[in-house]
């Protein structure tokens, strides 16, 4: 299994993780989820204004947010031919929003970005948190993967799960 990311970062924003670190996180999630098919993911780093426009267009929410995940194909899609790569979809991150959110949650932009890349990848693989039962499954998986990525000791007592209430930062 390999994951190829198409990484784009606007000149006015700086991400807390390097492209290689995001690549490693995408690979970790796919490997941990048992995905054997080659996958492609687009990861775009944008400003608060840009993510607000995308959030309005795709989710009907006229406000900035931390991450958006736009699913395309699933690795287990029966219409994909054997050996055909899967276009998982797009992950859009807003580092300025993420940095403010990290401060509000008492974590770091690096840890917060790690969480949100994992969160975005899980969404692309079909996880969701709209229903309580789904949220519990997704949050538990997220916590496991972030602890794997960062190391449980480094993570300490950081609270990761937070989908049920979005912080207005």
Average confidence (pLDDT) over 41-53: 96
Average pLDDT, the chain: 88
* Residue 62 belongs to a domain: yes
* Residue 117 belongs to a domain: yes
Query: Domain count of the chain?
Result: 1
Q: Is the pLDDT of residue 154 over 90?
A: no
Report field, pTM of the whole predicted structure over 0.85: yes
Q: Is the pLDDT of residue 121 over 50?
A: yes
Q: Is the pLDDT of residue 19 over 70?
A: yes
* Residue 166 belongs to a domain: no
Q: Which residues contact 30 (CB under 8 A, 6 or more apart)?
A: 1, 3, 39, 75, 121, 125
- Residue 137 sits in a domain of what CATH number? 3.40.390.30
**Where residue 57 falls among pLDDT bands split at 50, 70, 90?**
very high
Contact 99, 116 (CB under 8 A): no
Q: Is the pLDDT of residue 147 over 50?
A: yes
* Residue 167 belongs to a domain: no
Higher pLDDT, 75 or 152: 75
What would the pLDDT profile of 63-104 be if each residue is shown by its tens digit? 999 999 999 999 999 999 988 999 999 999 999 999 999 988
| Predicted pLDDT at 64 | 95
Q: Is the pLDDT of residue 135 over 90?
A: no
d(CA 108, CA 156): 12
Q: Is the pLDDT of residue 168 over 80?
A: no
Which of these, 120, 103, 101, 98, lies nearest to 16 by C-alpha position? Answer: 98
* Residue 161 belongs to a domain: no
* Residue 81 belongs to a domain: yes
* Residue 48 belongs to a domain: yes
With tokens 């840009």, the residue in question is 50
**Structural domain range at position 26:** 3-155
* Residue 160 belongs to a domain: no
| Predicted pLDDT at 155 | 56
Q: Is the pLDDT of residue 164 over 50?
A: no
Q: Which pair of structure tokens corresponds to residue 100?
A: 């403010």
């Amino acid at each position: 299994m390999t994951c190829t990311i198409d990484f784009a970062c606007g000149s006015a924003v700086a991400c807390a993780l390097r492209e290689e670190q995001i690549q490693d996180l995408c690979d970790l999630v796919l490997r941990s989820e048992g995905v054997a098919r080659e996958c492609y993911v687009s990861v775009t780093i944008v400003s608060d204004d840009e993510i607000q426009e995308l959030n309005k267009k795709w989710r009907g929410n006229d406000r900035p947010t931390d991450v958006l995940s736009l699913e395309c194909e699933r690795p287990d899609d029966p219409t994909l031919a054997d050996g055909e790569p899967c276009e998982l979809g797009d992950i859009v991150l807003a580092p300025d929003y993420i940095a403010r959110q990290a401060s509000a949650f008492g974590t770091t932009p690096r840890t917060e970005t790690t969480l949100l890349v994992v969160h975005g990848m899980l969404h692309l693989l079909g996880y969701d948190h709209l229903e309580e039962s789904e949220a519990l499954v997704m949050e538990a998986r997220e916590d496991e993967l972030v602890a794997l990525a960062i190391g449980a000791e480094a993570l300490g007592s950081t609270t990761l799960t937070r989908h049920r209430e979005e912080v207005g930062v």
